[in-house]
Amino acid sequence: MNETLKRGAIALAMAAMGVAVVLGGCSKKADTSQPITTVAASASDASGGTTAATDASGQPAVTPSTAKPGQSTATSTGDQRVTVGGKTEAEWKTALPGLEQAAKASPTDTKALQDLAVAQYQLKDYAGAAATYQQMLKIKDDPTTHNNYANVLRDSNQTDAALAQYDLAIKGDAALTVAYANKASLLASTKRQAEALVVYDALIAANPAYFGGYTAKARLLATEKKVAEAIKILDDGLAKVPAADQAKLSELKKQLGG
């Protein structure tokens, strides 16, 4: 995978009091333990893209982003779509013609195409963003691009097509935790909790030292009133995750009464 695109899928969008923020860095682990909101990358960067999902109960929440330093998470404030640390809707509209021109001038430049896809997504031109991601995939079959394309399909209510793209992302990179999280969240939001749990099991099996798989599965089990099972999965995780992450599991276990 192109390293620039790969790093775009591995930064983390965390929620604090319902406000999404972007963390830079190059960890491939995405936190699925928090609620999820829409995430999109800034057109100022080459990679990233669009991720959005719901929490384990199917409610809107904060998702792991594909953003990297210089990118942003998108939230909604009133009637205006505002990008935290990025551009307003009006600014995206202003930037769009230049991004379209750049992509037309360099039709195999994945950076130019990614920037355009992000702008299209921010402006809710899902058909345009889907076409741009399809163009990128013709240039290179990249797991991150499959994940980003899946998010566009998801947001345009093409659930089955989105799930298929998440599967391609996971098949291409078993450590791309954001793809598992997005797939499971989509399944949960469409009342397919049993299937979502299977995805979390796959996430844990492929990435046993990653705390987010355990917390996400535990939260979903708790919404299904299976608290004892939720506590058990957290105990399993405590035996496998690094010491630095054990407090996250312990805190959730405490919240569940364990």
Q: Where are the domains of the chain?
A: 3-190, 191-258
Whole-Å CA distances, 17 to 34, 35, 85: 10, 10, 17
> What is the per-residue pLDDT for 3?
42
Residue pLDDT, tens place only, 129-184: 999 999 999 999 999 999 999 999 999 999 999 999 999 999 999 999 999 999 99
Angle between helices 227-238 and 211-223 (to 10 degrees): 170
Q: Is the dihedral of CA 221, 19, 146, 176 positive or negative?
A: negative
Rounded distance between C-alpha atoms, residue 58 and residue 233, angstroms: 20
Q: How confident is the model at residue 86 (pLDDT cuts 50, 70, 90)?
A: confident
What letter does residue 10 receive in the DSSP assignment?
A: S
- pLDDT score of 67 more than 50: no
Considering only residues 258 and 255, tell me which one the structure prediction assigns the higher pLDDT. 255
> What is the per-residue pLDDT for 87?
86
Considering only residues 124 and 37, tell me which one the structure prediction assigns the higher pLDDT. 124
Whole-Å CA distances, 227 to 180, 185, 189: 22, 19, 20
pTM (2 d.p.): 0.72
Mean pLDDT score of the chain, rounded to an integer?
A: 75
> What is the per-residue pLDDT for 32?
38
Residue pLDDT, tens place only, 92-115: 999 999 999 999 999 999 999 999
- Write down the CATH number for the domain with range 3-190: 1.25.40.10
Rounded distance between C-alpha atoms, residue 228 and residue 256, angstroms: 9
> What CATH number does domain 191-258 carry, 2.60.40, 1.25.40, 2.30.30, 3.30.2450?
1.25.40
Q: What's the average model confidence in pLDDT over 190-211? A: 96
Q: How confident is the model at residue 258 (pLDDT cuts 50, 70, 90)?
A: confident
Residue pLDDT, tens place only, 45-60: 223 344 444 333 333 3
Q: What's the average model confidence in pLDDT over 2-29? A: 31
The reply to whether 191-258 shares the fold of 3-190 is: yes
- pLDDT score of 82 more than 80: no
